[in-house]
Chains A and B, each alone.
Chain A
């Protein structure tokens, strides 16, 4: 089973400087990511640039409207994510619990839908709709 661990850091500031992690935090996180990789659990991970650099596209009445970041009204901002392979939800939660997160940070653990979780007509509709991911050997 694949799971996404979504990091919601405890940062209320929209100031870009406040989003820059300390060398210590980066080192601790690097060690944690290494553990995930060495256990064969890690599929991919990314850290996201602060919302000031992003945008939100909202849909209403068949139209898309764009709001540039930062999103001052938003309570939860995603800071990054890991995609992991685990044999159970408990295993994914155990991995999340080991993260050297800061006080007040939250990691949301979500299972990834596989095509086989859907009924046949949905599977059929999903066929060839995306580019397959590149194999790791190409990296």
Chain B
């Protein structure tokens, strides 16, 4: 939104940030397509931006947006049914579709909780079918409500690049007909790994440059932490989720606040005894970072090398290897002039 946004526009933006994930998650279950769900939610936002500056922000803005988007969804479903029906008639198959859509929507309304929808949405935006970049962009867009412009600024890439990643990601998901479902038990671990990787990459991107001038980057850390907290609430029995949230918090606290790397390292060391986090690459990566900040380069080198070997993400492996090499250089004995 432009800098000169009115008070109402800023209020609408705030409502949007709060509601966007739930809105899209609920709509995605109704229409079975995250791309269409986002379009519907965006339509509702556009209507709000037209109406609210004149009428004022409604009493329950979240419910208002949901109702407006749902009406659009019903129209869409009806139109689609009508089209299907026409085709069916041509084929000589006379089936009655009228009246089913609303029942369907009512069924989607009740029963399952919105939390499951949110979890489904996270698993979809972080689907292994998508490239890491696409997963990150789609997650920030659909779960964080960030604009293409904000994502582009955060990752220092051009806006069209981000827009294209998002469009392609949605198309890939639609073409593969990825169902809006939670992963099966046997693939849960791998799928969760894919989600945590995205959250961690978002955090790292913000963290790596948190001292810079770019206002968007601390935002990325905050957004990653927020996603981590949501995940911890949705999947409370997954120790890796808690581990990741703890690691991100320790780092954020140790560096952005006044406690320093030594205090952070102490907290991280306590986590290394957690058996569920063995082989979990963010752990040695954070230890390595804190050790390097303390000037303990030799130990930092060992930890960062270990983290590089453990990560499945090529770009992250490269970054970790580079940092490990830098630590090795720092720790090497050499002539001083």
Contacts and interface: CB of A to CB of B under 8 A. Distances in A.
Given A40-B230, A85-B225, A88-B13, A115 B18 contact: no
Contact of B245 (A37, A85, A90, A137): A137
The SS class assigned to the B binding surface is helix
A132 interface: yes
A137 B243 contact: yes
Interface in B101-136: 115, 118
Nearest to B59: A97
Nearest to B10: A90
Contacts of A37: 229, 233
A41 B15 CA distance: 13
Interface string A1-35: 10000000000000000000000000000000000
Contacts of B233: 37-38, 40
A95 interface: yes
A114 B227 CA distance: 21
Interface stretch (B40-48, B80-88, B154-162, B257-265): B257-265
A39 B233 CA distance: 9
A94 B14 contact: yes
B258 A136 contact: no
Interface stretch (B31-39, B248-256, B312-320): B248-256
Place the interface of chain A in its size category. Answer: 20 to 34
Nearest to B229: A40
A128 B15 contact: no
Residue among A86, A87, A123, A134 facing the most chain B CB atoms (10 A cut-off): A87
Contacts of A91: 14, 17-18
Contact of B257 (A1, A115, A136): A115
A135 to B, nearest CB: 4
Place the interface of chain B in its size category. Answer: 35 or more
A87 B254 CA distance: 21
Contacts of B242: 136-137
Contacts of A136: 229, 232, 242, 245-246, 249
Nearest to A88: B14
Residue among A38, A40, A93 facing the most chain B CB atoms (10 A cut-off): A40
B222 interface: yes
Contacts of B17: 87-88, 91
Nearest to A139: B242
A91 B20 CA distance: 13
A110 to B, nearest CB: 17
A130 B259 contact: yes
Interface in B215-253: 219, 222-223, 225-230, 232-234, 239, 242-243, 245-247, 249-250, 253
Interface string A99-138: 0000000000000001110000001001111111111111
Nearest to A126: B258
A114 B256 CA distance: 8
Contact of A114 (B18, B257, B264): B257
Contacts of B258: 115, 123, 126-130
Contacts of A41: 18, 226
Interface string A75-96: 0000000000111101101110
B77 interface: no
Given A128-B263, A137-B242, A116 B11 contact: no
B287 to A, nearest CB: 14
A85 B18 contact: no
B151 to A, nearest CB: 14
A90 B14 contact: yes
Interface string A60-78: 0000000000000000000
Contacts of A94: 11, 14-15, 18, 61
Contacts of B271: 135, 137
Closest 9 CB pairs between A and B?
A: A135-B246, A40-B226, A137-B246, A90-B14, A137-B242, A40-B230, A91-B14, A132-B259, A40-B229
22 contacts: A37-B229, A39-B21, A40-B225, A41-B226, A42-B229, A85-B225, A87-B17, A88-B10, A88-B14, A90-B14, A93-B11, A93-B14, A116-B256, A127-B258, A127-B259, A132-B264, A132-B267, A133-B249, A135-B245, A135-B247, A136-B245, A136-B249
